[in-house]
Structure 1
Amino acid sequence: MSLLTHLLACLFGTGSWVSINGLWVELPLLVPQVPEGWFLPSYLSVLIQAANVGPVFVTMMHRFRPGVLNETVVIYLIMVLGTGASFLLGFFWKETVLVRGVPHSVALLVLTFFLAVVDCTSSVTFLPFMMRLPPQYLTTYFIGEGLSGLLPALVALVQGVGVVHCISGPQLQNQTFNTSNGSAALELQAQYQPASFSPDVFFFFLSAMMLVSLLAFLLLKRRPSSARQNPEARYTNGVKENDLDRRRRAEQRSMMDPYRSQNHKRKSSFGTGAYSWKQVFYIFVVLGWVNALSNTVLPSVQSYSCLPYGNKAYHLSAVLAAVSNPLACCVAMFLPIRSLVFLGAVTVGGSAAGAFIMAMAVLSPCPLLVQEASGSAVIVLAWIFFILSLSYVKVIIGVILRDEGHSALVWCGAVVQLGSLLGAVTMFPLVSVYSFFSSGDPCNTWCP
């Protein structure tokens, strides 16, 4: 194994979702300065889901016109687009245009759509590209994908995004509210700390990260292991010849091994045929489920689940959950348990943690243990376990599908996007239309 190739694979992975992840963590600074206000997250959610036209197009081309779409060229184009769009955001994010007499952040919304197309399409192009490298580098790629959320979050923390101080406002000094024991307490006012640098600089940072990822991709293409592992793809009857070779080798091993030939015959036409169609269906259902929960469903209610416990709990849950993603990838690298039963058990455990988080969000602004010191610890640990467990499942499924061939990884990316889409479609009306959740106050708790 080459440490340089591991580093390049990791840097390549950071370009997968860094733009959209960075945009989300920067929202507290953007919202007060754009005419859309707090409707901006709703607009962004719609734009990101509309950007799924990218992965749909790539998946359909692989299915119906195999060999026509040059995967390497697509990756190059979307990464150049992502680098340029992030750079332009640094100049134009706060520019407004009158639309029917109402000001709108047209440049911000249009450039966000381009970034979303880049990130969504990466799911069905970056993973298949990793077929060019030996299997051990796929886990390193997933570590980079996890860092695409962690690094912008850490930079936003340095910037001071969302850091709040609870103070006694001059106009509120004579106002009190009743606590649960009947005593009076002074109401506090949340005051957000000014940012140490502007969103312009943050967007230039995102552009630089995309540029680094692009350079890592160009260097990976030229690595000797890439050329040996996967030369230029050729297709026979719509199936990539590398995948056909895998099937032939699996069949030959089965014929040469009497035990395999009797007990491990090829079960389906999917990939190498190592799994039955029921198992393939199970794998993809689990993959879609964990991505729906971890990418859209629970992140959409993170503030509702954490803010009632205080701003510190909210920031700890956000940062440590982001750290848990690459940590889970490291665990998967050294402890790759491929048992489908085990993956199902881990999924159930992570989903149970997610159910607890969702319940606390529903109970906001008065969730369980809201006035207890243990409440903050419980909600932070729940977020850590939730992301750690489901991220592990995603990585192991990616490793399993990597062994099933190029087309399996294309469908892997498509199911990731489908799960995220279904999660977003489910949560958008609950959060943004019907206002099903009530936000907590980071400085005051009015619970009986």
Structure 2
Amino acid sequence: MSLLTHLLACLFGMGSWVSINGLWVELPLLVPQVPEGWYLPSYLSVLIQMANVGPLFVTLMHRFRPRVLNETMVIYVIICLGTVASFLLGFFWKETSTVAGTPHSVALFILTFFLAAVDCTSSVTFLPFMMHLKPQYLTTYFIGEGVSGLLPAVVALFQGVGIVQCLNSSQPLNPNLTSSNSSDLQAEYQPANFSVEVFFFFLSLVGLLAVLLLNYHPAVAKDYTNSQDSQDQNSAKETYQKHKRWDEQKPMIDLNTPTNHKRRSSFGKGTYSWMQVLYIFGILCWINALTNVVLPSVQSYSCMPYGNKAYHLSATMAAVSNPLACFIAMFLPVRSLLLMGGLTLFGSGIGAFIMGMAVLSPCPLLVNETSGGVVIVFSWIFFILSLSYVKVIIGLILRDEGHSALVWCGAVVQLGSLLGAVTMFPLVSVFGFFSSGDPCNTKCS
């Protein structure tokens, strides 16, 4: 295996969602300068889900008009579109237009829609493209996909996004005169070390160079699996590994049913029954709804009552946990469906705890205790760690089933995100079901 190809596969995966993830981490800098204020995340959520027309179109074309779309050309088009949209965002994100007598960030919305269309469509194009490389590089791709959330978070950390200073709301201009009567503190975000424009220009280049090198660098050519000999060798090797490590490779739902008595499906290579296929895709849809939309939409509600430090630690460590889970899966690729279900239940249970703390905001459990912040940070770490590992294992299983299986994998990922958004948007933005905690004032008994 080539270290360079691993690096490029990682960069390729990182380019899948880095633009939208970067947009989210910049919210503390965007919100004070746009007319929508803190309603901006709600608008962005709707736009991102509307952008699912991209993967829907690709999936339908793959199903009804196979071989009409050139997969590599589609990847080039969407990456170039994403690069241009991110570059233009650096110039026009503050521009406003009047709609129905009210100023709105129309340019920001339009460019966000194109960025989201690119990132959503990457789910049904980037994964199938990885079929051109050896199976080992798929896990590296998932590591890169995890880094797509970590990289913007690290850059934003150096940028100084979200640093809050608590000021006395009635503090006089003369610092030598203090007010002893007022105890209310007002949160004020500090200026960034570099501008939003520089941040967007940096993100606009991520992914474009990787896909060019992945296609044309001579060192990568030997890692392609186009020849029949290579495919036969890989197939023989996979068969050997399945027999050698049956405890890792055998799909386990019903241990008492002999394999040759199971009714196989026509999905992929027919390795799994239809019940197992539905089981795999059901879990995939569920965990992507939780990790992509449902829990991230309430992260501030679950963490902010414990303080600004707990919020930023949970966001940063959750971003680290994703690629860490992919790295673990590289050395422990256990494909047991039974383990998959167990980890899903474990991660979902932690997610239920996090959701409970968000519902109780601004006064969740242990809100005035240091242990409360520690618990919520570790909850986010183990939530992302367990479900990200399940994502990678499902990706490896579907990669073994062929190109079509990976296309459907990307489609189900987007379906899960869509269902999560449809569920959470009215709860958060319409009915106001959650209440924010103040990072400077905690008023819980």
Q: TM-score normalised to the size of structure 2?
A: 0.90
Q: Return 5+ residue gaps in structure 1 as ranges.
A: 177-185, 233-241, 255-261
Distance 1:187 1:436, change over 3 A: same
Cα distance in 1 for residues equivalent to 2:429 and 2:218: 43
User: What per-residue deviation string (whole Å, max 9, x for no partner) do you get for residues 409-445 of structure 1?
Assistant: 0000000000000001100000001110000011111
Residue in structure 2 matched with residue 238 of structure 1 by the alignment: none
Asked if 1:281 corresponds to 2:261, the answer is: no
SS in 2 for 1:223: helix
Q: Give, as a single letter, the amino acid of the residue that structure 1 aligns with 2:53.
A: V
Q: Cα distance, 1:34 vs. partner?
A: 1.1
Q: Does the 8 Å contact 2:143/2:323 carry over to 1? A: yes
Q: Cα distance, 1:209 vs. partner?
A: 1.5
Q: Does the 8 Å contact 1:175/1:187 carry over to 2? A: no
User: What per-residue deviation string (whole Å, max 9, x for no partner) do you get for residues 34-87 of structure 1?
Assistant: 122222111111110000000000001111111111111000000000011100
Residue in structure 2 matched with residue 183 of structure 1 by the alignment: none
User: What per-residue deviation string (whole Å, max 9, x for no partner) do you get for residues 225-268 of structure 1?
Assistant: 454x1369xxxxxxxxx99x98xx98xx99xxxxxxx8447711
Q: Cα distance, 1:382 vs. partner?
A: 0.1
Q: Give, as a single letter, the amino acid of the residue that structure 2 aligns with 1:2.
A: S
Residue in structure 2 matched with residue 339 of structure 1 by the alignment: 336
SS in 1 for 2:205: helix
Asked if 1:188 corresponds to 2:185, the answer is: yes
Cα distance in 2 for residues equivalent to 1:138 and 1:297: 26
Residue in structure 2 matched with residue 29 of structure 1 by the alignment: 29
Q: Does the 8 Å contact 2:97/2:103 carry over to 1? A: yes
Cα distance in 1 for residues equivalent to 2:259 and 2:426: 49
User: What per-residue deviation string (whole Å, max 9, x for no partner) do you get for residues 346-368 of structure 1?
Assistant: 01000011000000000000000
Cα distance in 2 for residues equivalent to 1:159 and 1:145: 22
Asked if 1:108 corresponds to 2:108, the answer is: yes
Asked if 1:290 corresponds to 2:287, the answer is: yes
Cα distance in 1 for residues equivalent to 2:122 and 2:290: 19
Q: Does the 8 Å contact 2:302/2:354 carry over to 1? A: yes
Q: Does the 8 Å contact 1:304/1:361 carry over to 2? A: yes
State percent identity of aligned pairs: 74
Residue in structure 2 matched with residue 259 of structure 1 by the alignment: none
Q: Does the 8 Å contact 1:295/1:420 carry over to 2? A: yes
Distance 1:220 1:281, change over 3 A: farther
2:304 pairs with one of 289, 295, 307: 307
Residue in structure 1 matched with residue 403 of structure 2 by the alignment: 406
SS in 2 for 1:189: strand
Q: Does the 8 Å contact 1:8/1:219 carry over to 2? A: no
Q: Cα distance, 1:217 vs. partner?
A: 3.9
Residue in structure 2 matched with residue 230 of structure 1 by the alignment: 226
Cα distance in 2 for residues equivalent to 1:216 and 1:354: 39
Asked if 1:442 corresponds to 2:419, the answer is: no
Distance 1:211 1:49, change over 3 A: same
Distance 1:264 1:191, change over 3 A: same
Q: Does the 8 Å contact 2:11/2:207 carry over to 1? A: no
- 5 Å-filtered alignment, 1:251-266, equals 263-264=259-260
Q: Give, as a single letter, the amino acid of the residue that structure 2 aligns with 1:310.
A: G
Cα distance in 2 for residues equivalent to 1:374 and 1:170: 32
Q: Give, as a single letter, the amino acid of the residue that structure 1 aligns with 2:147.
A: L
Q: Does the 8 Å contact 1:92/1:108 carry over to 2? A: yes
Cα distance in 2 for residues equivalent to 1:145 and 1:281: 24
Cα distance in 2 for residues equivalent to 1:441 and 1:146: 30
Number of aligned residues: 418
SS in 2 for 1:209: coil
Q: Give, as a single letter, the amino acid of the residue that structure 1 aligns with 2:16.
A: S
Q: Give, as a single letter, the amino acid of the residue that structure 2 aligns with 1:128.
A: P
Residue in structure 1 matched with residue 198 of structure 2 by the alignment: 201
Asked if 1:349 corresponds to 2:380, the answer is: no
Q: Does the 8 Å contact 1:9/1:220 carry over to 2? A: no
Q: TM-score normalised to the size of structure 1?
A: 0.89
Cα distance in 1 for residues equivalent to 2:204 and 2:104: 24
